[in-house]
Amino acid sequence: MRELSLETSRKTELVDITLQVRDALQDERGSAAIVFVPHTTAGVMLQADSGLAVAQDVESALGRIVDESWPWKHTEEEGDRNPWSHVRAALTATSVTIPLRDGQLALGNLQTIYFCEFDGPRSRSVYVSVI
C-alpha cells in the first residue's frame, strides 16, 4: 500500500490526484488499483477531466444540495461544527477500484480521479493498493 499526502486549501474542493495515483503505481503489477480515502468528511470520485470545469460545477452543486445553513441535529446535539461535510462525503465514495491494463490505470479518455474535500483546508491522506 502507498500513502499519498494532500494539502487542501478550501472548505469544499475537488483535487485531481490522477498523476499522484499513477506515480504510486509505478513498478506495481496486478489487475486493479484501489484508491481509498480514510476520512469521514472527504471522498473520492471518478469524473470528467478538470479542463472541462466539471470539478467547479460539482463543488457548487454539492453546496446547493447540502446547505450549511440548515438546522443540523449533529450540531444541536453534539456541538459538531461540520455536519454538512459528513453528508457531502456520503454522496461520494470512500473508495474506487480501477482496472489496470499493462500496469496502467484503465481510465476512460476523460476520466480523472478526484479527492473530494468537504471540511478543509486540511492535511489528508489517500491510500493506493494494487490487487
pLDDT band (50, 70, 90) for residue 59:
very high
CA-to-CA distance for 74 and 112, rounded, in angstroms? Answer: 33
Q: What percent of the chain has pLDDT over 70?
A: 95
Q: How far is it, in rounded angstroms, from Cα 11 to Cα 126? A: 18
**pLDDT-derived band of residue 69, with 50, 70 and 90 as boundaries?**
confident
Indicate the average pLDDT of the chain: 93
Q: Which residue has the cell 461540520?
A: 82
Residue 130 has pLDDT above 70, yes or no: yes
- pLDDT band for position 11 (cuts 50, 70, 90): very high
Question: Residue 74's pLDDT is what?
Answer: 73
Average pLDDT over residues 45-72: 89
Residues forming a β-bridge with 128: 2, 35
76-94: average pLDDT: 88
pLDDT over threshold 90, residue 18: yes
Residues 81, 18: Cα–Cα separation, whole Å: 31
pTM of structure: 0.93
Q: What is the model's pLDDT at position 39?
A: 98
Q: So where are the chain's domains?
A: 2-130
Q: How confident is the model at residue 50 (pLDDT cuts 50, 70, 90)?
A: low
* Topology, domain 2-130: Jelly Rolls (2.60.120)
